[in-house]
Structure 1
Amino acid sequence: MHNNWPRALPLVVALSSFSALVQAQTLSFNLPPASLATTLNRIASQSGHIIALEPALVRGKQAPAVVGQMSAEQAMQAALAGSGLQLRVSASGHFSVAPASVGEDVMELGATSVTDNYLDATSEGSGSYAARAVTLGKGTHTLKEIPQSVTVITRKQLDDQGITDLKDALNHTTGLVGAQGIGPGMVITSRGFQIDDWQYDGVPIPRNNYSLGNWATQDLVFFDRVEVLRGASGLLQGTGSPGGAINLVRKRGQAKPTVTITGKAGSWDHYGLQLDAGGPLTSDGKVRGRMVLDEDQSDSFIDYQWGKTHSLYGALDIDLNDATTIGGGISYSREQSRPMLRGIPRYADGKPANVSRSTYTGARWSRAETDVTTYYLDLEHRFNDDWTYKAAAIRMDETNTSTHQRVQTTGQGLKPDGTGITYADWITDFHNTKIGLDMNLVGHFDTGSVAHEVTVGGNYSKLTSDDAYWRNFAADPDDSIFDIDHGRPEPSRDSLLASNMGRANKASYDIRQKGLYGAWRVKPVEDLTLVLGTRVSWFDYSWDSIDFNGPNDPGNRYPTSRMTETGQVTPYAGFVYDLTREWAWYASYTDVFIPQTERAVGNTPLKPVIGSNYETGLKAELLDGRINTSIALFRYDQENRAVTDTASGFACDDWYCSTAAGKVRSQGVEAEISGEVLSGLQLFAGYTYNTTKFLDDPDEEGRVFSQWTPKHMLRAWADYQLPVDDQRWSTGLGFTTQSHTLGYERTYSVPGYTVWSARVAYQLTPEVNLAVNANNLFDKKYWVAGFNQLNGSNNYGEPRNFMLTVKYTPQF
């Protein structure tokens, strides 16, 4: 035996080298949450390894989703994260599992050594701008596996840029515009079309139904990340916008205890304090909790304007057994403010009024309050390693009240000397309840060498509202935009109705949608994935309205507006072809339908708007998944849009009817990159070229369709961890730039702009981080894109401002 050893030595060395090569090989994994034993065996089988498992060690333990490009070692590390176990690697390259407290003779890899290969969809703790997976569709997939444009705004990016509300987040990402609506809320557009249904943990509910304006706001203190799909989303949410879908994924208790206390102070007496705590509540980790308390208050660069927000969130996730997890949560947000609604008017020729950025058009008694209480409930049951059932529900109760003064013009814009404004006094009282439910079953199976994934499910949403307003206009030809009266008498409901131009209105919506959907992903060959899907939708709409023109007026009830669509089919088809290990080519097609409430001759509702969405492009996961990048070409054609039927005369409630004859087109190019492009350098950059045009319209043919969609948009932000002083310093720099947009009347332009922002941070101790963010670094004076009407809704962007943040994270 001794004489044979020298001959065997080269073979041993060769085998060891081969084993090391196999261990380091990067593979593509897409494993759903399953039992730990099953996931480890799947990784070993896919990578050609052998793993020895002691049944008693892994019994009852679950592994998270393992998704992305990585080595077999890294995949097993991710599967073992939080299990109390660690990986052992023998000299010959065989794997085994042992308790975390192993002896020194064990080759320890450590579950926390692969944070750069963070694999599930959660962005907290990843320290990255590159998301490894998304849950925007059903199941968990990498961005490269979805044949449409997808962006994830991670918690790391939100924190670095100091972003705390959804409108701000979307205005810093690729291709989206978050515009202030007629009310204090926002309107989200993508590729020229509004996104009115927002998803919460994958459950869509209507959030931008017009009630005398747009009142929906959303802060992000409760959420881990924002997932954005651009392009038609009908498969996900039925009548969803052709522009895309927004999914807000809430924070949950993690496997380890975490506590963060954040204080901030900034320009215009802006102060905030937040407690965010969570982790296991039982010794076995089967019950996990999360709590967020947030207080924020600020004055404004606008005179007299201020806002104060109180937010509270609590959540529990409970493993009922090894196969079933139930989660629930409640969030409450109350915002009190003195707002400026309807902004500043323009001159009749479209030129902006040359007034200070501090100009306030409201009254000292103007006030508004928004209360939103949201209930979340979800359940996940794993029948086995291949089949998973999920159900999620959401209920949102929202109240918007206000007493406020607006300023608008008596004609089409201001007179040359700035006169011609009218004061409008309003009292609003809006209440609505939104309910959403989604249930789906996702399964994986093989037929021979062909892998399949099947998704079947259904969802339901309902909006009911009880809205009322009281208003009066007080015109004076001598009133000027340069001399706003902030001390006019505060109105009451009775005084508004008793005035000459007083009016009140009560209205209610009842909008319901339900649908069944299915999708099939199949890999007929190793490098090709086909995606086929369809949805069948049912839609019911009802709106009632009563006008009151005096304190003793019994009211004039309008005929109930009703509309029903039954069995609308939305097909979807796409493919993803892996050109290399990193790069893939994709293409997709889907239909869109949008119900219309306009009426044709004979008082019959118009048939729905229909559209066809085409997209193709390239996607890549570079540097072992640390970078996501994509480029896309897209076109959306829409027809059956309502246009005025002047030939019919006043045949519809003493006004013109409509006809379904309008056509529009949106098309363009998008490119995006996110992740760690160099060691310590996190980057997000997204460029969009988008044109929208009326193809067929009696008045607008050939003109721009979406007034507030810039032709060019570029958003970029980079954060760099300096390699000095133990990497305690980091600095960030970014900008958003866009070309001009059009005013509401399409007769004038709103100039484009470039705004820079920056950040400097210092890790004072392992527990304490200090950061200063500067926004609008060069104090650019500009008008934000939005409704931008002649008689109002023009708002300045924020001047240069600063925010100091102190974050304390105790180490456990």
Structure 2
Amino acid sequence: MFRDKTARPLRRFFGCGSVLALSAALATVLLATGAAAQDGQPVVLAPVVIDASVGDDDAATVVATRSSAGSKMAAELLDTPASVSVITAREIQARNATSVEQVLAYSAGVTADFYGSDDRFDNFRIRGFGVYTYRDGLSLGRPFGNIREEVFAFERVEVIRGANSTTFGISDPGGMVNYVTKRARPERFGDIHVAAGSNDHAEVGFDFGDRITPDGTLSYRLTGKLRDASAEYDHSRDDETFLMAGVTWQPDAATSLSVTLDHLNRDGVPGSGGHPVGTDFDRSRFFGEPDYNYRGTDRTTLTAIFDHDFGGGLTVGSTLRYAESKTDFGYAYITGISTEAPTTATRDYFGNEGSAKEFAWDARLQYDRRFGDVASRSLIRVEYRDTTSRTATCWGNAPAINWQNPVYTGRPASVPLLRSSISDQETKAVYLQQELSFADRYILTAGLRRDWLDITQTDRLSGVAESGEVSETTGRVALTYKATPELSVYGSYAGIGRAGIADRRTRTRRAVRTGPEIPARRVADAGVGGAL
């Protein structure tokens, strides 16, 4: 006996009466339409508008179809021989993600925020490995020990799983993450949000832009966020000021130059100070030191991105970034339980302050051509990066604290200096890639990269400096098969060449700092406290 498979789901969803009413309404519409047609009167239906550009607008859709993260050449995700996830600005806004960990939380193979209340750094792994991060294709380094990024600055976040050092340089086999900066565009848009919530949270943010010239040759974009808040425990704060301004010059469809300047200032805390093992306190209880509990960030970044299409398949582009930053943190944390007093926890002080200057630049030349059923895309790219960073770490004993009746002892006059160093690193690289597409179904990708690193590490306490020149060659080959317009499979192999230290030398310099201690930072101080 034949059974109608649609009736039961409709009744389950609408109810029997609703189904009858819907059927009656449809019948009425059909009868009216038929009567109008028989009378010779035309029936005008409402137009259906399809916006084909939405798929490329990260502010309008959560589904991205193209990315350049897999091979440094823009391509459909189905044509990319790597597992790539793209989190667009629209998805970030829809999920109200305010940190990198929250942005990456739903990405396959990513484990985020595994250090709990330790908010000093962005903490995440891909396929169990630590990762390197990039901004607009230029290296930022490892997230652990680096600055926490402001996701409101990004148009999208791209996650590439698997070995990809041939494309991006130094990386781990688990994968990497690339942040794409928001740029001005020749149209009027605007968004503002105001938020208030628990932990005394008050925030306002804005993101708007428009044409400067009537023809859209020049356009601007202003983005910012101001936040005044506390964390989830006593004596904490989570304040931030972020401002970004950008200008895009596009004299024609073939040429584009975008310049963006952003400033990030954060005044937060590194963690809760911890609770003694075996205790069950309210999460708001604090056993650190209120006057020695800070995590500060102050960074200014200038980014310029240029692209030009000569026609005939030849395009050039370049990205430049200059950044200056200062960071610091300090806190008292629980190290154990006192053997003399079972309700007393022992503590230590731990702090760090650093500064860095970075110049990064790349230039790329791409040539696309078709030979019958074979489509060819060739890319040559050169990179240069020069970074100087200074860091000082201090550590020492802190007074114990009774967790039943906590009494804070105040900011320490100084904390013993554990180590202090200067790191200078110069990186140069050449990257070649060839992509061949056969009958629009088979895609062969091959890449070769050569890196040269010149590194100098100086111990400022002993005055000893070590230098080394390291060169590395990496290669990659991949094959992609497009089984259907919606499904493709690929195989990829990435090999690492032998690394050799061409020159390693040790020399003695006069120590820049010889004092045994570093002054402790006041909570109200701006920027980096103490002396490097």
TM-score w.r.t. the length of structure 2 is 0.78
Aligned 1:183-332 pairs, distance under 5 A = 184-196=120-132, 198-208=133-143, 214-332=145-263
Query: Structure 2: how far apart are the matches of 1:460 and 1:263?
Result: 41
Matched-pair contact (CA < 8 Å) for 1:234–1:591: no
Deviations 1:336-379 (A, max 9, x none): 12442664565xxxxx6534322323211122321011110111
Does residue 457 of structure 1 match 2:381?
A: yes
Unpaired stretches in structure 1, ≥5 consecutive residues? 1-107, 347-351, 497-501, 548-555, 598-602, 606-812
| Aligned partner (choices 449, 452, 456) of residue 542 of structure 1 | 456
Counterpart CA distance in 1 for 2:312 and 2:342 is 70
How do residues 348-747 of structure 1 correspond to structure 2 at under 5 angstroms?
353-365=279-291, 366-409=293-336, 421-474=345-398, 479=401, 482-483=403-404, 485=406, 487-493=408-414, 496=415, 502-547=416-461, 556-557=462-463, 559-566=464-471, 568-592=472-496
- Out of 99, 103, 106, the position equivalent to 1:169 is 103
Residue aligned with 1:167, SS = helix
| Contact 1:183–1:215 (Cα < 8 Å) also in 2 | no
CA distance in 1, matches of 2:392, 2:498: 27
Structure 1 residues 55-108: Cα deviation after superposition (integer angstroms, max 9, x where no partner)? xxxxxxxxxxxxxxxxxxxxxxxxxxxxxxxxxxxxxxxxxxxxxxxxxxxxx9
C-alpha RMSD over aligned residues: 3.0
Percentage of pairs with the same residue: 20
Contact 2:366–2:379 (CA under 8 A) maintained in structure 1 = yes
Select 2:50's aligned residue among 114, 127, 138: 114
SS in 2 for 1:491: coil
Question: What displacement does 1:239 show?
Answer: 1.7
Aligned counterpart, 2:5: none
CA distance in 2, matches of 1:458, 1:594: 21
Distance in 1 separating the partners of 2:450 and 2:405: 53
Q: CA deviation at 1:289?
A: 0.9
CA deviations 1:619-643 (Å, max 9, x no partner) are: xxxxxxxxxxxxxxxxxxxxxxxxx
Shift of 1:291: 0.3
Q: Residue 131 of structure 2 contacts residue 176 of structure 2 at CA under 8 Å; is this kept in 1?
A: yes
How far 1:117 sits from its partner (Å)? 5.5
Aligned counterparts of 2:279 and 2:164: Cα–Cα separation in 1 = 40
Paired residue secondary structure (2:311): coil
The change in CA–CA distance for 1:224 and 1:109 in structure 2 (over 3 A counts) is: farther
The CA distance in 2 between the partners of 1:528 and 1:109, in whole Å, is 39
Q: Which residue of 1 aligns with 2:3?
A: none
Shift of 1:183: 6.8
Query: What corresponds to 2:512 in structure 1?
Result: none
Structure 2 CA distance for aligned equivalents of residues 265 and 581 of structure 1: 46
Change (3 A) 1:451 1:306: same
What's the CA shift for 1:591? Answer: 2.1
Q: SS state of the match for residue 217, structure 1?
A: coil
Residue 248 of structure 2 aligns with an amino acid whose one-letter code is D
Q: Conserved in 1, the CA contact under 8 Å of 2:374 and 2:437? A: yes
Match of 2:67 among 128, 134, 144: 134
Which residue identity does 1:459 align to in structure 2?
Answer: E
CA-CA distance at 1:321 after TM superposition: 4.6
- Give the aligned residue type for 2:484: T
CA contact (8 A) 1:230 1:245 kept: yes
Tell me the TM-score normalised to structure 1 length.
0.52
Q: Which runs of 5+ in 2 are unaligned?
A: 1-45, 507-532
Report how far residue 275 of structure 1 moved: 1.7
Say if 1:280 and 1:364 are closer, same or farther in 2 by CA, change over 3 A.
same
Work out the CA distance in 2 between the residues paired with 1:218 and 1:450.
Answer: 42
- Whole-angstrom distance in 1 between the partners of 2:388 and 2:284: 38
1:386, CA displacement in angstroms? 1.2
Partners of 1:511 and 1:140 lie apart in 2 by: 30
CA distance in 2, matches of 1:382, 1:484: 70
- On the 8 A contact 2:100/2:122 being kept in 1, the answer is no
Compared with structure 1, are the counterparts of its residues 385 and 163 closer, same or farther at alpha carbon in structure 2 (3 Å cutoff)?
Answer: farther
**CA separation of 1:186 and 1:485: change in aligned 2, threshold 3 A:** farther
Going from structure 1 to structure 2, the CA distance change for 1:487 and 1:353 (only over 3 Å counts) comes to same
- Describe the superposition over 1:104-151 as per-residue Cα deviations: whole angstroms up to 9, x where unpaired: xxxx999xx33366343x4112xx321021121322111111111100
3-state SS, counterpart of residue 102 of structure 2 = helix
Give how far 1:409 is off.
Answer: 3.2
SS at match of 2:238: strand
Give a deviation string over 1:530-574, Cα, whole Å, max 9, x none: 111111111232222234xxxxxxxx34x43433322x2111111
Cα 1:189–1:537 change in 2 (3 A) is same
Deviations 1:260-291 (A, max 9, x none): 11111112121110121112211001111110
> Would you say the 8 A contact 1:431–1:465 is kept in 2?
yes
Partner of 1:159: 93
- The structural deviation recorded for 1:584 is 1.3
For residue 510 of structure 2, what is the aligned residue in structure 1? none
Q: Deviations over 1:32-56 (max 9, x none)?
A: xxxxxxxxxxxxxxxxxxxxxxxxx
Preserved CA contact (<8 Å) 1:232 1:592: no
Q: Is 1:199–1:246's contact at 8 Å kept on the other side of the alignment?
A: yes
Instruction: Please tell me the residue identity of whatever aligns with 2:488.
Output: A
**SS of match in other structure, 1:299:** coil
Q: Residue 272 of structure 2 contacts residue 286 of structure 2 at CA under 8 Å; is this kept in 1?
A: no
- Would the alpha carbon gap of residues 604 and 418 (structure 1) be closer, same or farther in structure 2, given more than 3 Å must change? farther
